[in-house]
Structure 1
Amino acid sequence: MATAPAPANLPLFYKDLLPLSSVDHADFHARSLDNADFLVNQHAVPLTSDEFVSACRHYPIVFSAGDNPVPLALMGLNEGVNTFVDDQGKLVNPVYVPAYIRRYPFLLARLQPDSDELSLCFDPTSGAVGKFDEGDAMFENGQPTAPVQAILEFCKMFEEAGQRTGAFMDELKKADLLMEGEVSIQQEGNDKPYVYRGFQMVDENKLRELRGDVLRKMMQNGILALIFAHLFSLQLMREVFAEQVKAGKVPEYQEVPTV
């Protein structure tokens, strides 16, 4: 499920980044896009812990492999397969859209390595920001417009959610609750099951064995609810698989690395 890094170590979806400037982009507008073609071949999208309760009704939530795992919403079980959008990048059915997707093409980035200051940047290749006649003006009299202020606030909230997600992941690792995940799905008519690996999940046996004081703390700080949202969401992997079967997007190979 892990996706190859973007060029120049850019985040997922972003092909380029420019800091938004009242001088260079004084006459730029931001417009809505009819589709999200960048999602068509993307099967896993980063998710913040703030979104678990909303996302668990629609997507399997897993954690990426490796020493620094991050939560992921699975939009498909195989590389290059997204069961939630059509070939043009339009949502097939109304579902919760992860904040990581809604943030694009903007994000807050640190322009100077030795500075903690974050600047609002955008992907100039997205087609959503440029010298258009339509859309919302980015600046007026050299000052950011209300839409830009709203975008900035959303990006700040996303960064704060990212920090809470990091703290959540630290707690999972501290309690040694993560294990290598494996899901086996038997398709009717096939002798062998499809086996998906390459991701991490919470080990329910270790969860049951936690000391009472640790469980109490997790219940009080909300972590236990997030863990259950993750565990309940795993049932949706079979539904996503069924959608892949319906679309004819299930590979012949039986054991498939997922994340």
Structure 2
Amino acid sequence: MASAPQQPQLPLFYKDLLPLNSRDHADWKVSPFGTAAHVAQTHAIPLTVDEFIDAQRNYPIVFTAGDNPLPIALMGLNEGVNTFVGDDEKIIAGVYVPAYIRRYPFILAKMRPDSDEMSLCFDPTAGVIGKQDAGNEGGQALFDSEGKPTDYTSQVLDFCSKFEESGQRTRAFLEELKKLDILMDGEVAITRGDNPDKPFVYRGFRMVDEKKLRELPTETLEALNKNGLLMLIHAHLFSMNLMRMIFERQIAQGKMPQAQAAPVN
């Protein structure tokens, strides 16, 4: 279920990357997405620890399997299913939209493997960035008449920079969980009232082992509480109660798999 939501070479959603520059993109603009069609078939969205408190109100937060787990928000329980994108291909109103979705089509990326320098890049295939005369006259200009970044572009750069900083805090949080050895392979079995003998079983993710958490030394728990990590762990654990809610959303939307038992790895 919770395989790492990324492609081998480019991150999730991104099909190509170009570095933004005033020479090639002086007269380019960006328009808002008319729909969330690019999200509609994605069930797991990368999440940072700075978003746990907001995200746990709407989505189960779990961790990807493997040696380097990362947190993800589940918008569906099966591959290709997103229960938060409506028939109008828009994310339903009133739910938290993960920063990963809001960042697209921009991203900070290393253009050279031998350098740590990161450049503001964008996905030219997104369909929302182009020249001013390409039917997007109402969009936001990326550069002014002097070739300097506009306030909009500066805000995008700031957002992407803060996202990278959140990513560093997220990796530090996961390193702490690994050091404490409190992650375990997750498994959730959900039954339907009309067929209680054949549960839908979801695997392929990791979660915090509540028993191991309770057995941590008092001084360790106090340290986790003092540095704010315990709050994040609890947000993750509380969010797991939403697994059935997502399951019920899939039933209501007719997006359940055909089999009565559905292990998803």
- Same-fold status (TM-score > 0.5): yes
Structure 1 CA distance, aligned partners of 2:139 and 2:74? 31
2:249 corresponding residue in structure 1: 243
Correspondence 1:152-167 to 2 at 5 A: 152-167=157-172
Q: 2:139 aligns with which of 135, 138, 152?
A: 135
- The gaps in structure 2 that reach 5 residues or longer are none
Contact 1:78 1:256 in 2 (8 A): no
**Is 1:29–2:35 an aligned residue pair?**
no
Partner amino acid, structure 1, of 2:129: V
Offset at residue 33 of structure 1 (A)? 1.2
Correspondence 1:30-179 to 2 at 5 A: 30-131=30-131, 132-140=136-144, 141-179=146-184
CA RMSD of aligned residues (A): 1.2
- Classify the secondary structure of the residue corresponding to 2:107: strand
Structure 2 CA distance, aligned partners of 1:248 and 1:152? 40
Q: 1:232 aligns with which of 234, 238, 242?
A: 238
Partner amino acid, structure 1, of 2:228: G
- Classify the secondary structure of the residue corresponding to 2:184: strand
Contact 2:4 2:64 in 1 (8 A): no
Contact 2:62 2:206 in 1 (8 A): yes
Among the aligned pairs, what percent are the same residue? 58
Structure 2 CA distance, aligned partners of 1:124 and 1:39? 17
Partner amino acid, structure 1, of 2:263: V
Residue 180 to residue 215, structure 1, CA distance change in 2 (3 Å): same
- Classify the secondary structure of the residue corresponding to 1:255: coil
Q: 2:225 aligns with which of 214, 219, 244?
A: 219
1:106-131: per-residue Cα shift (whole Å, max 9, x none)?
00001111111110000001112111
Offset at residue 62 of structure 1 (A)? 0.2
- The gaps in structure 1 that reach 5 residues or longer are none
Q: Paired residues, what number?
A: 257
Offset at residue 35 of structure 1 (A)? 0.9
Contact 2:185 2:205 in 1 (8 A): yes
Per the normalisation by structure 1, the TM-score is 0.96
